[in-house]
Amino acid sequence: MKKHHVFILLILATCILFSGCIGDSSQEENSLIDDDYNSSMDYFPHKINIEYAQDFSVEYHNNYKLVTVTEQDNDNEYSYVLVQKGTPVPEHDPDSIVVEIPVESVAALSTTHLPALEIIGKTDTIKAVSSFAYINSIPVRQMIENETIDEVGTGSYMNTEAMIKIEPDVIFTLTTGIPYDDDHIDNLIDLGLKPVVVDEYKETSALGQAEWIKFISLFFNAEEDASEYFDQVASDYNEMVKVTRSIEDRPVVMSGMAWQGTWYVPGGNSLIAQYIDDAGAVYFWSDNNNTATVTLDFEAVFDQGKEADYWISSGMWNNTEELEAEDVLYLEFGSVNNGNVYTSYYRINENGGNDYYESGIVRPDLVLADFVKMFHPELVPDHELVYHKRIE
């Protein structure tokens, strides 16, 4: 009989010990609640209002923010529960990633993430980037020189061991739509890390892309700074559009470039097409409804290219001679003969990193001013091209 009592006591002791461990695990997220926590207090007096961005949303609660990223191209959804430090974690979807805010350390795996962090004064929180080579940001370049930041790769090429060692509060990353590349998100979660999808580049409007500065600000409680910055940029952009809307003489603009006999053209609803329209010009393929790149036969583009007044290219040419060396037929384009060929490869570093795709993301007002300077220079006499250069 004694043996049975001892056995039962052992079972009870084991159950109590085990249940105690389970209890500790379930309460771990709420183990550091401040003594002065006030459940009726609004911990986020400054909130964002999303006007242009389509792919993220936020719901404010007293002590946490529920942030959702929805990818329009594949219906994937990512959820984040941003909880104010020292306050309890609410009940949440088990698939949501819980982040204690404000965060103090981040990895930024796209150069497009860097300008937003700089604008809200959080560059010093960056502990890792994907690659040093293509970065233009002066403060981040200084951090690289001082060896206070690590290079960890991205996607399927990420150095996860290095990331584990760094253990940033969050990892700002992006998706590409390539399964083996995007698997890194689940892999990071499995390692106990917290990846956050920042896909501003998928927005189809310039102001929509720039507004993702507000998304990043949510993780730092820096909404006031982000909103103040964005509101000014949006105001300047929209004021310029008001001026160009009244223009009757609108030049015709072609875009894209050829590669191995195929011409790659931005769709009629693409970002570049919208910039051209907002700058008071007509995009040659405006009737096309695509937001992505469209492929065309070179022969078809060649006939149209003769008629276009301007050509906005992503080519890295420095002069007409280089353009001619690529294809002598380019010399028959009206835009080439008139000296109206421009490229966005103006602000590039020694490795080819293009600032147009970095700081240009948060400065659509300057990008638009560049286009207006090309098509209607009289409207912006004091503006000097920032992201574009003329092919001489």
CATH number at residue 365: 3.40.50.1980
Task: Tell me what the mean pLDDT of segment 62-91 comes to.
Answer: 94
Which structural domain, as residue segments, surrounds residue 325?
247-390
Domain count, the chain: 2
- Amino acid 171 reads I
Tell me if the bond preceding 102 is cis, omega within 30° of 0: yes
Judge whether 210 lies within some domain: yes
Adjacency order of strands within the sheet including 170-173: 150-151, 126-129, 106-108, 170-173, 195-197
Which positions ≥6 away from 162 have C-beta within 8 Å? 128, 150, 152
* One domain for residues 99 and 222: yes
* One domain for residues 336 and 369: yes
Q: Which of 202, 233, 264 is the last residue of a domain?
A: 233
Q: Which residues pair with 253 in a beta bridge?
A: 283, 310
Judge whether 6 lies within some domain: no
* One domain for residues 110 and 63: yes
Assign 40 to helix, strand or coil: coil
pLDDT of res. 26: 36
Question: Between 15 and 77, where is the model more confident?
Answer: 77
- Give CA–CA dist 249/59, Å, rounded: 45
Judge whether 375 lies within some domain: yes
Instruction: Please report how many Cα atoms fall inside a 13 Å half-sphere around the Cα of residue 87, on the Cβ side.
Output: 25
Phi, psi of 313 (to 5 degrees): -120, 160
Judge whether 141 lies within some domain: yes
Judge whether 17 lies within some domain: no
pLDDT tens readout for residues 325-352: 888 888 888 899 899 999 999 999 999 9
* One domain for residues 225 and 309: no
Question: Between 301 and 195, where is the model more confident?
Answer: 195
Judge whether 23 lies within some domain: no
Taking 90 as the threshold, does the pLDDT of residue 288 lie above it? no
* One domain for residues 92 and 210: yes
* One domain for residues 125 and 197: yes
Decide if 178 contacts 114 (C-beta within 8 A). no
Judge whether 263 lies within some domain: yes
pLDDT of res. 177: 81
* One domain for residues 81 and 184: yes
Taking 90 as the threshold, does the pLDDT of residue 369 lie above it? yes
* One domain for residues 265 and 226: no
pLDDT tens readout for residues 98-127: 999 999 999 999 999 999 999 999 999 999
Residues making up the chain, counted from first to last = 392
Question: Between 230 and 76, where is the model more confident?
Answer: 230
* One domain for residues 128 and 270: no
- Give CA–CA dist 228/214, Å, rounded: 10
* One domain for residues 284 and 166: no
Decide if 121 contacts 214 (C-beta within 8 A). no
Considering only CA atoms, give the Rg of the chain. Answer: 26
* One domain for residues 206 and 63: yes
* One domain for residues 371 and 223: no
Judge whether 41 lies within some domain: no
Taking 70 as the threshold, does the pLDDT of residue 228 lie above it? yes
Question: Which segments of the chain does DSSP mark as H helices, in order?
Answer: 2-27, 114-119, 138-145, 160-166, 179-182, 184-190, 206-210, 212-217, 223-244, 271-278, 298-305, 320-326, 334-337, 364-375
- Amino acid 384 reads E
